[in-house]
Each structure stands twice: as structure tokens, then as C-alpha cells.
């Protein structure tokens, strides 16, 4: 609202008015307000307004509409509550029975006074804004607009703050903007609005609207039902809508546009989502409650920018009058920054997002156009019609193991060799002039998720570079562009490319950056869609359509004759395929793309990503559906109507199956047919289809940093491990009843890493099998049954191991500690029974327990050197070493469970028990030993092994088979050759320091601990009391997953986040993880 004069009354005078007119008692507390006097008195808020000319009609109407909204919500609280309608302050009547009381201020002006009830809640501007609160705010505002729509317009002049009249105010006050660059920015945006969008405003539906639903006027509270999600830490329940002083009868869409304008501002206190993310969630919520009309979505984003333009010039004008009003100028500065960013976001790109969020076609008329194209005869793009029997699928998807094994995606010669062999065509040999390309033609699919896009230009949506700020997804996940939007036709360089339809050349360019298009032609098509079923519109005029087709990876030299505006006839040659030297360094092929909206002629300042002659050919996975609608399957340009015949259509379907594995059918099959006790990670489970190094990839090729899979010790799909398994599988895989050189040689290598007294190795298939066998060895050798274990420990899933795993038998579904198991206190120096300086008493307790077991001395003490499920607990120095000595003195054997911690992970030593100088009698190894292959081992002394060889043969069908041993050998090779143990020490130490620094900034991180790349940090609700905070731990795991980093919780209270990544993880990934943790905690104010 434009500024008005502030009433000249003292706080005491206003307090007296409150007592005398409204019977409000209490100490008045002034509240922030630029133009009015606002005081809180008890449970009420008193507002004094000095309207121009002393006209109180607007204030009275405000009170009437607020009262009507409040009454409507109160009525809806009965049998059929309206969940979207937000609380509105109740308007208190004066002692005279009126909503508004007239008073005169010290300047002699007639002022209005009204009282409303105080509403509890936090202002949305002061709190983080997640997707849920954005959707709920949209729905709340829609409910208000819907309720206000039943009230008739007032017979008064248009309000000066009506957004539809903002152009007039902007032009009148623009001179107050001193910065020439900023002045031009507002001029450009206003001119664009006047030319493109103002003509549409007369067609917009009208109604009463709130008029100023900025984030200072919205109250939020935490959702009491929120669990381990944004509801728990980012207040998401709309608790109130305040300040109806800008009520106006205007276009309904102005209300969400005004709210959106302020949601798009950056906030230094809290990271906010990128503009398109905000727009998506807010629009989705509003549309659910009050559906947008399509024309409203066309003007929604431009109206939001128009509001910001009006706000900044109003602030510039106010700065002249009120130079000390710092709050207004801070908000204005944020608005200026937003305008500078948002000018680069194409308005129709924003409209795509809004339309898609509301369930409309991303580009209107797209489906009808594609239907028309499929029915039309087209000229063959490569000179002859494509037929399935003369076409081969070149599967470049991330799920094709043949392509993964053949070449790195960025290795063009290897990719070309692989494709040439598959086609039986030399794609490196240029064909002679006028020669038809040899068949078969290679076909690369539309809507295919790929890992081949290595250039920096594939890191984000080029039409929304502001999305680089996106906190809801990291560049390694949501922003990464992976989904192919065109069809690739592979043929040798020199093959002629022809226009499928009549067209006009829109652009000709040489996009010569590596991994770009090289020579590129974009054609503009205008067609009459005659013969298309229009339903109820059958009597209407034949609809016209405009669309574009893009031809990439051409030889720039073959495009010399074309200029923009030139006419092209169907079947006319437009260019020839280029070789890697001129086509962006790709295997020779044509990239053909059908584009419904080229996002041209927007009037915005052009950026390098919007230059004429280029357009994204790859979509971000998070916006796959939207981009596919805007760039539909170009097979409609390639295949003639004969392809729709049943026999040929079936052949094409068999040749070109869908490239994407959809998640929901996979989830449903698992739910129906797989063990229900098998849990999934994350509230929205990931469909993971590929791994490489320290990264995992989902079904849309989104990349995640894997920080928890210590199973793939030397990295997912390490080529040397894969090759070793492949080679040995091709030779022999059988059981160990035959002599084979691998098992003995591999056992020798493993035993060489252990203390000399451990001389014998047993091979099994899993860590559980290894620990189960270890217990059998100990019980057989000692003739005893009882076992000592640690509180919170987990050793495996067999019945014998559940007995010695308090993490399981003390948890849900467990039966408690069996009689033959003696449970020792968890040696936790941070939050355990004994802390810091007293931690040595854990060993005293162990010794005391042993002294009390004279009647049933233990067979064994089983312990992880660093407890994983116990919470990444590193026991106090000397505990394991002296504990093992005490158990041996009592006649028991000592088992070091190295299933999670062995093979160099702790950095300073190959085995974690060596950290404390302990000497176990039995060591078990599992997870990392086979890098994901089912391989595990038990190591022991010769004496114990002989005792076990008592006539009862121990045979394991698959344990120690040649393939498993080959894999294990390869893992050891990689650890040694790539220096992974030293890497774990170096990078783990760096990560530990970063986490300790993070803990200094965030008191909710109570403890950071571990060794090498086996670390954890504990979350606490109270750093003094060290109260566990499992809800925060779960929230951070979910939040980091959203941003492309995979973590998990551990510990008896599930309040510890564990970090145990593949040993090949890069320092940059570790640093980025800590940055994301810091951001996630700052988002929620912790």
C-alpha cells in the first residue's frame, strides 16, 4: 500500500482510547508498523489509522470482511471444518457496538481505531520455508479468496494499491530511484508487462482479495503431528493471516501473485528454495483449493514481478520522506536483488512450472499437435523411411551394463567403436556426397536417463540459472540434467539431413563448446491442425499451431547457405552430420528434438544460455515430466502413418522399450512378494540402479553421494573387481572339495595383515555366517556356552547372534537378554554410565562381572572394536586390550568383530582392534572384504582350529569358491595399489576436523567420534544434559537425502548419524556433505 501519514498520538493517549472505547486494560506494547499506530494490549491489538481525508469507510469494510471470515471459520469448525481457511483475528466491537471508533489526533486529523484479537504464531518471514508450508499457504490464501468472492464489490473508486494499477504508480515514482542500472531494470520489466500481459488483465476474474499476503502477514506454527520431517522443524501449519488493510476488489490472481512476490525474495537468515520450486509448491496448493484459470497462470509470475517493481519504487519514494526507516529499506534491497535474478527467468518458463503444478499441459495444445503430426506424412529425415527391421537400439541409458563396460561416457573414440560394432557400420568413416547412410540406423531414445552428459552446461536448467541456489536439491541430484529430450539417429558423418515438414529457418548456429551441439539448425513450423478431433469445439475454426524442430551435431560447413527467415520445403536437405571435430565431440549422430515453446521473444536481457540457436536437449530429472511435455517424443516427426499399423507398431515397441524403470511398480512388487520385515531407507525410498565409485544413481540418473555403504569398500563397480569376477566366472566356479590355487593364496594374503598367532582362515558368505562360526569355534574350543557382549551391539541375524546382539534382542520384537549371555555396559565416554575422565571404570565393571562368573565362566567375549549399531562408539583407551586380557585370564576366548571396521577403514591400522593394541583369538571379516560380493572370513589360531576339527566336518558350499577368492584378491590389490588405507587416514582426519568445527557452530551436535572413514556424530536436544535427539537425526538424514547425500542413523536411541563411505570418496564430496549439514541446521535455526 502507498505510504500515508502516521497518526500523531502518544502511547498513553492510545492506551486511554483503548480503555475508554474498548474496555481494554493492560500495559500497551507498541508493535512495528510503518504508517499506523499499532499496540498490543493484553490479548488484543489496537490499530489507529489516519486515512486520507479522514474517510473511515475502507477501515470499516476491512473490519466487516475480517469479521465475516472469522465467523465463517468458526462455523466450519463444527461437523465439516474447512482445513484450508486460516485463522483470522476476531474483530472486537467497541463499547458503543461498532467495529471502528473515530478519534482526532494531535494534528487535527480524523483517525479510525479498531481492536482485534491477538493470534499466536511465528511470522513466516522469520522461519524456514519448506515445500509443505508453501503448499499450505497457497491453499490458505485460496480459501480466503474463495470466501471473499461471495461479497459484492464496493461502490468506491479503485484503490491506489490495486496491483492492476501499479504501472501508473511505478511510472510516477520511478524518478526516486537514483541508481541508473536499477532504474533501467524496472523500466525493462514494466515495459514487458505493459506490452505482453497488461492486455490480458481485462479478461481476469474479479473478487475481493487480501491484497498483501506477504510473509510478514502470515503466522505459522509447528505441526504437532510432524515426525522426522519438515513439519517437525520447519513450522508448516498456517496459524493466521494478518493485516487486511490492503483489501481490494481486483483480479483474484493478484492475491497469489502478491504472496508469491515476497516468497521469491532471498533471506539471509534462512536459505530459501529456488524460484521455480517456490512457484511449483505454492501454486499447487492454491490450485487444489481454488483452481486457477489458464489465463491466470499466464500472468501470475509477471504480476509477482510487477508487485516487486512497485514495492522498490515505493520504497525509494519513502526513503526521501523517511530516511531512518531501515526495515523498509532492507526489504527493498532484497526485492532489488530478487528482481535482478528473476529478470533472467523467462516468464513462460515460469508459466510452464505453474501450469504443470496445476495439472494443465505444460504448453497448451501440445497433445493435440502431436496427434496431428502422427497422422501426417513426413519427408524422411535421413533420406529414406525408417523401418524397425533397419533400425537398431543404441542403449545409452545408465542401466545398460554393456555400454558401461565398453567405454567411459566422455571417451568419444571408445563410444564410437562400441556403437559401430553394435550396428555393423563404421561410424567413423565419412560417407561420400549424396550417398544414403548405410543401414541399420542407430536409434537413441527420447526420455532416456543417461550419464553421458559430462559438460558443465549440464549442471542446471539454463533457463533458470537462479536454480543454482536451490536448497532442496544439490547439483549432484535434483539439478543435474540427465533425461534426453530428443531422439538420436546414429549414422556416419556426411549423411544428409532433411526437413520433415515445410518450415522457416529460425536460427543457424555453431555451438562449438565441448559436449554442445556443434552445427545446429532450428526450424519454425506453422500448421493448421485440420482433421484433429476437437471435441466440443468441432464447429470452431481450424486451430493453428506453431512449434519448432531442432537438428544438432551437424557439420557447420554444411549450413552455410541458410539464414534465419529462409523457407525450407519438406524433404529439402538442411545439413549433413558432422564428425567429432565439429559436432561437440560426440559419436556422429543427429539429435532431433520437437520443441513446443522455444521461450523466445520475452524481452528479457539475453544470457549466454538463452542465445539464439541453442536450446536444452537434456532435462533435469526433478522436472522430467514437465520438460517431456514441452518437448514431446520426436518420433512424431520421424515415423510415417504406416508405423501406426498394428504389426509395425508392435515391432517398434519391441525395438524401443521404455528407457525408464518406474519406481512405483518396483515398490509394489516388493511389497507384495518380498519379506515384509525387510525395511527400506528414507520416507520416499530411492530406486537405485547404478553405482560408481562413491556415488549411487537412481532410475533417472540422479547422483547421490554414498556416505553409508561401507560394503562397497573400494567403490561401487570398481573396474578391477568387476573384471576379476568376470574373468574367473568365465573359467570356473565350484565348491572347495577340489583343489584350486586361489583359496590358499588368498588366505595367505589375508593372514599376512593379521598378528602372527592367527594362522588359519575359514571362508563363508556373510558377516553373520562369520560371527556365527566364531561363536561355534569358541564354544567348541572351551567347552563353555556363555558369552559376554556389549550393550547396543549387533553381530548378525542368526538366532545365536541375535542372542548376543542387544541392539536386536532389547529392541522392538526382541525377547531380552538370554540367560547364557552376559551384557556389559556400552563403553560410551560421551553419554554412557561413565563419562570422560571416569571412562576407565567400564573396564573395572568388566573385571567385576568376570569375578562374579566363577560358576559359569564365559566361552567368549565378542566385541566390535568400534561399535556401529551402538552409535559409532570408540571405547576408552585400553578397554578392548585389557578387557581381552581379563577374559583370556578367565579361560574365555576373545572375538574381534571386524565385519564393519576392517580392511584399512580406520586409516592408521588395517584392523580396528589394532587401534587399542588388542590381541583377539578370533577375528571376523565381512562387508568390505568382497566389495559387495558375498564373501566373509574367520581367522583364528591353529590350536582353536584343531579343536574345531573334531570329526564333525565343516563344509560351506560357496565359502572360498574360486570366484569369491578372485574378487577378494582384487579388493586387496585395489587397497594396496590405490593407497586406500592411507587415504582413509588422510580424508577421514579431514572430515573429522570439519565435523568438529561444525559442532562448534551448532550445539545440537553433542559429540563427534570415530577413526578414519568410520565416523559418527551424536545429536542432542540439550547439550548440557546430553538428551538424545533422534527426531533431529532422522530429519537431517531425510534432508540430506533430498540434497543428494545419503546418510543413516545408528545407536540405541537412533540419535547418531554414521558416516562410513566407500574408501575412494573424494574430499570435495566430504566437504560438500558438511556444507549441506551446516545449511540444513541453519535452515531450522539450530
Q: What pLDDT digit, counting tens, does each position of 182-225 carry?
A: 999 999 999 999 999 999 999 999 999 999 999 999 999 876 65
Q: Tell me, yes or no, whether 181 and 292 share the same domain.
A: yes
- Residue 900, burial from CB neighbour count under 10 angstroms (0-12, 13-18, 19+): buried
Q: Give pLDDT tens digits for 534-578.
A: 554 444 556 789 999 999 999 999 999 999 999 999 999 999 999
Neighbours of 667 (CB within 10 A): 13
Rounded to 10 degrees, the C-alpha dihedral 141/143/145/147 comes to -150
- The mean per-residue pLDDT over the stretch 456-474 comes to 48
Structure-model confidence comparison of residues 441 and 329, the more confident one: 441
Q: Give pLDDT tens digits for 361-389.
A: 999 999 999 999 999 999 999 989 999 99
Q: Give pLDDT tens digits for 987-1022.
A: 999 999 999 999 999 999 999 999 999 999 999 999
Q: Give pLDDT tens digits for 163-176.
A: 999 999 999 999 99
Structure-model confidence comparison of residues 34 and 525, the more confident one: 525
Dump the DSSP string for 715-730.
-BT-HHHHHHHHHHHH
pLDDT at 440 over 90: yes
Which of 1060, 1063, 404 is CA-nearest to residue 722?
404
Give yes or no for a contact between 1028 and 831, defined as CB atoms under 8 angstroms apart. Answer: yes
Q: Tell me, yes or no, whether 383 and 234 share the same domain.
A: no
Instruction: Quote the DSSP letter at residue 132.
Output: H
Which of 598, 925, 953, 974 is CA-nearest to residue 774?
925
User: Coil, helix or strand for 977?
Assistant: helix
Please indicate, yes or no, if residue 236 is contained in any of the structural domains.
Answer: yes
Buried b (16+ CB within 10 A) or exposed e, 581-593: ebbbbbbbbbbbb
Give yes or no for a contact between 894 and 861, defined as CB atoms under 8 angstroms apart. Answer: yes
- CA distance linking residue 242 with residue 31, whole number of Å: 13
User: Coil, helix or strand for 985?
Assistant: helix
Q: Which residue has the cell 563397480?
A: 717
Q: Tell me, yes or no, whether 645 and 564 share the same domain.
A: yes
**pLDDT, position 55:** 80
User: Coil, helix or strand for 976?
Assistant: helix
Q: Tell me, yes or no, whether 636 and 619 share the same domain.
A: yes
Residue 507, C-alpha cell as written in the block: 536460427
- CA distance linking residue 721 with residue 859, whole number of Å: 38
Structure-model confidence comparison of residues 206 and 602, the more confident one: 206
- CA distance linking residue 297 with residue 460, whole number of Å: 24
Structural domain including 525 reads 366-655
Q: Give pLDDT tens digits for 395-413.
A: 999 999 888 776 676 788 9
How many Cα atoms occupy the beta-carbon half-sphere of 211 within 13 Å? 25
| CATH code of residue 334 | 3.90.1200.10
Q: Give pLDDT tens digits for 414-437.
A: 999 999 999 999 999 988 766 678
Per-chain mean pLDDT for the chain:
90
Angle (nearest 5°) at CA 650 between 646 and 652: 120
User: Coil, helix or strand for 205?
Assistant: coil
User: Coil, helix or strand for 157?
Assistant: coil
Residue 333, C-alpha cell as written in the block: 534491497
**pLDDT, position 455:** 67
Q: Which residue has the cell 480466503?
A: 144
Dump the DSSP string for 574-597.
EEEB--TTTTTS-SSEEEEEEES-
Q: Tell me, yes or no, whether 1000 and 920 share the same domain.
A: no
- CA distance linking residue 526 with residue 327, whole number of Å: 52
| CATH code of residue 574 | 2.70.70.10
User: Coil, helix or strand for 192?
Assistant: helix
Sequence-distant (6+) residues with CB within 8 A of 577 are 491, 492, 493, 494, 495, 497, 553, 554, 555, 583, 588, 589, 590
pLDDT confidence of 268, banded at 50, 70, 90?
Answer: low
- CA distance linking residue 899 with residue 1010, whole number of Å: 16
Contacts of range 833-838, beta carbons closer than 8 Å, 24 or more positions apart: none
Q: Which residue has the cell 566390535?
A: 864
pLDDT at 478 over 60: no
| CATH code of residue 1015 | 3.90.1150.10
* Residue 174 φ/ψ, nearest 5 degrees: -60, -25
**pLDDT, position 467:** 35
Q: Give pLDDT tens digits for 566-598.
A: 999 999 999 999 999 999 999 999 999 999 999
- CA distance linking residue 498 with residue 381, whole number of Å: 5
Instruction: Quote the DSSP letter at residue 826.
Output: P
Q: How many residues does the structure list for the chain?
A: 1086
DSSP H stretches of helix in 505-645: 624-630, 635-638
Please indicate, yes or no, if residue 554 is contained in any of the structural domains.
Answer: yes
Angle (nearest 5°) at CA 692 between 690 and 695: 90
- CA distance linking residue 502 with residue 570, whole number of Å: 5
Q: How far apart are the first and last CA of the chain?
A: 35
Helix (H) or strand (E) holding 993: helix 980-1001
Please indicate, yes or no, if residue 413 is contained in any of the structural domains.
Answer: yes
* Number of independent structural domains in the chain: 4
- The mean per-residue pLDDT over the stretch 723-745 comes to 93
**pLDDT, position 913:** 98
Last residue of a domain, one of 332, 357, 382: 357
Q: Tell me, yes or no, whether 818 and 917 share the same domain.
A: yes
pLDDT at 602 over 70: no
Strands (E), 771-921: 787-790, 821-824, 860-863, 893-897
Please indicate, yes or no, if residue 90 is contained in any of the structural domains.
Answer: yes
> Starting at the edge strand that comes first in sequence, how are the strands of the sheet with 237-241 ordered?
122-123, 218-221, 237-241
Q: Tell me, yes or no, whether 896 and 1015 share the same domain.
A: no
Percent of the chain past pLDDT 70, that is, above it, reads: 92
pLDDT at 130 over 90: no
Q: Tell me, yes or no, whether 177 and 312 share the same domain.
A: yes
Q: Tell me, yes or no, whether 350 and 372 share the same domain.
A: no
Please indicate, yes or no, if residue 503 is contained in any of the structural domains.
Answer: yes
pLDDT at 159 over 90: no
Which of 241, 716, 714 is CA-nearest to residue 451?
716
| CATH code of residue 846 | 3.40.640.10
Neighbours of 430 (CB within 10 A): 18
**pLDDT, position 225:** 58
- CA distance linking residue 140 with residue 128, whole number of Å: 18
Give yes or no for a contact between 1047 and 91, defined as CB atoms under 8 angstroms apart. Answer: no
Q: Tell me, yes or no, whether 390 and 351 share the same domain.
A: no
Strands (E), 485-627: 487-490, 496-498, 503-511, 518-528, 544-554, 567-568, 573-576, 589-595, 618-620
Q: Which residue has the cell 524397425?
A: 388
- CA distance linking residue 841 with residue 602, whole number of Å: 73
**pLDDT, position 327:** 62
Dump the DSSP string for 280-300.
HHHHHHHHHHSPPPHHHHHHH
- CA distance linking residue 1004 with residue 1019, whole number of Å: 6
Q: Tell me, yes or no, whether 874 and 1019 share the same domain.
A: no
- CA distance linking residue 357 with residue 745, whole number of Å: 61
Give yes or no for a contact between 262 and 332, defined as CB atoms under 8 angstroms apart. Answer: no
Please indicate, yes or no, if residue 315 is contained in any of the structural domains.
Answer: yes
**pLDDT, position 446:** 98
- The mean per-residue pLDDT over the stretch 282-294 comes to 97
Kindly report whether the peptide bond that precedes residue 440 is cis, defined as omega within 30 degrees of 0: yes
Give yes or no for a contact between 550 and 615, defined as CB atoms under 8 angstroms apart. Answer: yes
Please indicate, yes or no, if residue 744 is contained in any of the structural domains.
Answer: no
Residue 222, C-alpha cell as written in the block: 509447528
Q: Tell me, yes or no, whether 401 and 524 share the same domain.
A: yes
How many helices and strands, by DSSP H and E, does the chain display?
30, 39
Percent of the chain past pLDDT 90, that is, above it, reads: 75
pLDDT at 511 over 80: yes
In the chain, what is the greatest distance between 2 CA atoms, to the nearest angstrom? 111
Radius of gyration for the alpha carbons in the chain, expressed in angstroms and rounded: 35
- CA distance linking residue 801 with residue 588, whole number of Å: 58
pLDDT at 643 over 80: no
Q: Which residue has the cell 556373510?
A: 766
Please indicate, yes or no, if residue 974 is contained in any of the structural domains.
Answer: no
pLDDT confidence of 529, banded at 50, 70, 90?
Answer: confident
Neighbours of 247 (CB within 10 A): 24
3-state secondary structure 958-975: CCCCHHHHHHHHHHHHHH
- Residue 840, burial from CB neighbour count under 10 angstroms (0-12, 13-18, 19+): middle
Amino acid at each position: 500500500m502507498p505510504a500515508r501519514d502516521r497518526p500523531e498520538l502518544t502511547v498513553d493517549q492510545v492506551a486511554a482510547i483503548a480503555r475508554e472505547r474498548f474496555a481494554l486494560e493492560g500495559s500497551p506494547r507498541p508493535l512495528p508498523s510503518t504508517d499506523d499506530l499499532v499496540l498490543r494490549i493484553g490479548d488484543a491489538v489496537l490499530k489507529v489509522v489516519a486515512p486520507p481525508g479522514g474517510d473511515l469507510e475502507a477501515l470499516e469494510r476491512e473490519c466487516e470482511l475480517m469479521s465475516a471470515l472469522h465467523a465463517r471459520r468458526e462455523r466450519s469448525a463444527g461437523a465439516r471444518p474447512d482445513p484450508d481457511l486460516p485463522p483470522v483475528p476476531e474483530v472486537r466491537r467497541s463499547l458503543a457496538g461498532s467495529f471502528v471508533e473515530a478519534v482526532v489526533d494531535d494534528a487535527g486529523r480524523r483517525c479510525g481505531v479498531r481492536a482485534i484479537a491477538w493470534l499466536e504464531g511465528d511470522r513466516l518471514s522469520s522461519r524456514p520455508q519448506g515445500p509443505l508450508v508453501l503448499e499450505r499457504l497457497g491453499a490458505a490464501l485460496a480459501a480466503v479468496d474463495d470466501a471473499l468472492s461471495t461479497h459484492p464489490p464496493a461502490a468506491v473508486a479503485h484503490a491506489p494499491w490495486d496491483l492492476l494499477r501499479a504501472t501508473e504508480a511505478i511510472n510516477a515514482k520511478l524518478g526516486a530511484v537514483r541508481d541508473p542500472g536499477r532504474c533501467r531494470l524496472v523500466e525493462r520489466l514494466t515495459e514487458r508487462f505493459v506490452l505482453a500481459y497488461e492486455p490480458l488483465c481485462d479478461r481476469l476474474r474479479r473478487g475481493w482479495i487480501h491484497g498483501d499476503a506477504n510473509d510478514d502477514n502470515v503466522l505459522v506454527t509447528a505441526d504437532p503431528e510432524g515426525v522426522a520431517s519438515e513439519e517437525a522443524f520447519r513450522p508448516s501449519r498456517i496459524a493466521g493471516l494478518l493485516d487486511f488493510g490492503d483489501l481490494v476488489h481486483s483480479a483474484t490472481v493478484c492475491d497469489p501473485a502478491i504472496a508469491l512476490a515476497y516468497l521469491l525474495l532471498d533471506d539471509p537468515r534462512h536459505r530459501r528454495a529456488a524460484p521455480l520450486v517456490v512457484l511449483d509448491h505454492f501454486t499447487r496448493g492454491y490450485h487444489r483449493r481454488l483452481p486457477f484459470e489458464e489465463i491466470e497462470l499466464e500472468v501470475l509470475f509477471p504480476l509477482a514481478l510487477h508487485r516487486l517493481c512497485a514495492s522498490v519504487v515505493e520504497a525509494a519514494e519513502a526513503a526521501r520522506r523517511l530516511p531512518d526507516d531501515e526495515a523498509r529499506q532492507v526489504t527493498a534491497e532484497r526485492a532489488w536483488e530478487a528482481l535482478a535474478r528473476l529478470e533472467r527467468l523467462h516468464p513462460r518458463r515460469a508459466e510452464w512450472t505453474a501450469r504443470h503444478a496445476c495439472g494443465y499441459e505444460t504448453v497448451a495444445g501440445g497433445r493435440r499437435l502431436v496427434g496431428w503430426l502422427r497422422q501426417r506424412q513426413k519427408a524422411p529425415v535421413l533420406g529414406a523411411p525408417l523401418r524397425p527391421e533397419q533400425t537398431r537400439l543404441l542403449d545409452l541409458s545408465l542401466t545398460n551394463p554393456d555400454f558401461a563396460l565398453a567405454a567411459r561416457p566422455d571417451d568419444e573414440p571408445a563410444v564410437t567403436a562400441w556403437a559401430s560394432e553394435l550396428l555393423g557400420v563404421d561410424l567413423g568413416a565419412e560417407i561420400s556426397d549424396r550417398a544414403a547412410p548405410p543401414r541399420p540406423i542407430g536409434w537413441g531414445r527420447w526420455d532416456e536417463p543417461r550419464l553421458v552428459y559430462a559438460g558443465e552446461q549440464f549442471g542446471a536448467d539454463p533457463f533458470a540459472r537462479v536454480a543454482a541456489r536451490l536448497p532442496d536439491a544439490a547439483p549432484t541430484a535434483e539439478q543435474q540434467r540427465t533425461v534426453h529430450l530428443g531422439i538420436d539417429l546414429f549414422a556416419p558423418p556426411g549423411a544428409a539431413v532433411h526437413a520433415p515438414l515445410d518450415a522457416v529457418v529460425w536460427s543457424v548456429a555453431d555451438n562449438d563448446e565441448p559436449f554442445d551441439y556443434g552445427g545446429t539448425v532450428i526450424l519454425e513450423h506453422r500448421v493448421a491442425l485440420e482433421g484433429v478431433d476437437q471435441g466440443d469445439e468441432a464447429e470452431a475454426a481450424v486451430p493453428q499451431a506453431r512449434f519448432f524442430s531442432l537438428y544438432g551435431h551437424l557439420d557447420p560447413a554444411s549450413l552455410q547457405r541458410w539464414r534465419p527467415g529462409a523457407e525450407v520445403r519438406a524433404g529439402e536437405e538442411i545439413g549433413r552430420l558432422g564428425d567429432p571435430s565439429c559436432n561437440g565431440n560426440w559419436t556422429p549422430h543427429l539429435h532431433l528434438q520437437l520443441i513446443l515453446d522455444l521461450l523466445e521473444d520475452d524481452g528479457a536481457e539475453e544470457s549466454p544460455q538463452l542465445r539464439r540457436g541453442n536450446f536444452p536437449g537434456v532435462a533435469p530429472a526433478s522436472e522430467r515430466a514437465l520438460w517431456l511435455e514441452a518437448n514431446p517424443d520426436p518420433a512424431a516427426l520421424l515415423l510415417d502413418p504406416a508405423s501406426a499399423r498394428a504389426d509395425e507398431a508392435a515391432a517398434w515397441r519391441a525395438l524401443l522399450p521404455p528407457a525408464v524403470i518406474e519406481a512405483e511398480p518396483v515398490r509394489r512388487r516388493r511389497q507384495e512378494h518380498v519379506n515384509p520385515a525387510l525395511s527400506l531407507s528414507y520416507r520416499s525410498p530411492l530406486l537405485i540402479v547404478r553405482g560408481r565409485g562413491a556415488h549411487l544413481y537412481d532410475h533417472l540418473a540422479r547422483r547421490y553421494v554414498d556416505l553409508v555403504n561401507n560394503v562397497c569398500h573400494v567403490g561401487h563397480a570398481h573396474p578391477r573387481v568387476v573384471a576379476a569376477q568376470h574373468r574367473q566366472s568365465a573359467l570356473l566356479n565350484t565348491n572347495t572339495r577340489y583343489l584350486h590355487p586361489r583359496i590358499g593364496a588368498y588366505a595367505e594374503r589375508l593372514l599376512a595383515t593379521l598378528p602372527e598367532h592367527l594362522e588359519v582362515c575359514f571362508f563363508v558368505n556373510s558377516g553373520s555366517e562369520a560371527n556365527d562360526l566364531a561363536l561355534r569355534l569358541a564354544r567348541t574350543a572351551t567347552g563353555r556356552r556363555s558369552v559376554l557382549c556389549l550393550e547396543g551391539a549387533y553381530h548378525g541375524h542368526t538366532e545365536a547372534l541375535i542372542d548376543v546382539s542387544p541392539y536386536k534382542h532389547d529392541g522392538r520384537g526382541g525377547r531380552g537378554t538370554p540367560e547364557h549371555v552376559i551384557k556389559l555396559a556400552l563403553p560410551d565416554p560421551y553419554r554412557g554410565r561413565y563419562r570422560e575422565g571416569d571412562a576407565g571404570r567400564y573396564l573395572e565393571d568388566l573385571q567385576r562381572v568376570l569375578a562374579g562368573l566363577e560358576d559359569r565362566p564365559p566361552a567368549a567375549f565378542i566385541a566390535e572394536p568400534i561399535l556401529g549399531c551402538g552409535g559409532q562408539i570408540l571405547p576408552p583407551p585400553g578397554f578392548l586390550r585389557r578387557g581381552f586380557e581379563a577374559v583370556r585370564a578367565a579361560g574365555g576366548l576373545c572375538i574381534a568383530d571386524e565385519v564393519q571396521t576392517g580392511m584399512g577403514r580406520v586409516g592408521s591400522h588395517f584392523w580396528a582392534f589394532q587401534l587399542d593394541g588388542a590381541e583377539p583369538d578370533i577375528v571376523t571379516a565381512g562387508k568390505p572384504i568382497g566389495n559387495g560380493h558375498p564373501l566373509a572370513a574367520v581367522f583364528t589360531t591353529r590350536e582353536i582350529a584343531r579343536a574345531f576339527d573334531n570329526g564333525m566336518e565343516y563344509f560351506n558350499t560357496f565359502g572360498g569358491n574360486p570366484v569369491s577368492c578372485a574378487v577378494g584378491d582384487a579388493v586387496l590389490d585395489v587397497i594396496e595399489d590405490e593407497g586406500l588405507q592411507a587415504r582413509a587416514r588422510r580424508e577421514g582426519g579431514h572430515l573429522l576436523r570439519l565435523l568438529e568445527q561444525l559442532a562448534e557452530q551448532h550445539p545440537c551436535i553433542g559429540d563427534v567420534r570415530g577413526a578414519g572413514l568410520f565416523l559418527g556424530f551424536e545429536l542432542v536436544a540439550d547439550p548440557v544434559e546430553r538428551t538424545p535427539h533422534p527426531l533431529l537425526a532422522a530429519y537431517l538424514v531425510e534432508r540430506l537425502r533430498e540434497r543428494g547425500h545419503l546418510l543413516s542413523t545408528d545407536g540405541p536411541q537412533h540419535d547418531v548419524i554414521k558416516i562410513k563411505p566407500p574408501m575412494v570418496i573424494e574430499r570435495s564430496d566430504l566437504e560438500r556433505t558438511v556444507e549441506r549439514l551446516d545449511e540444513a541446521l541453519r535452515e531450522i535455526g539450530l
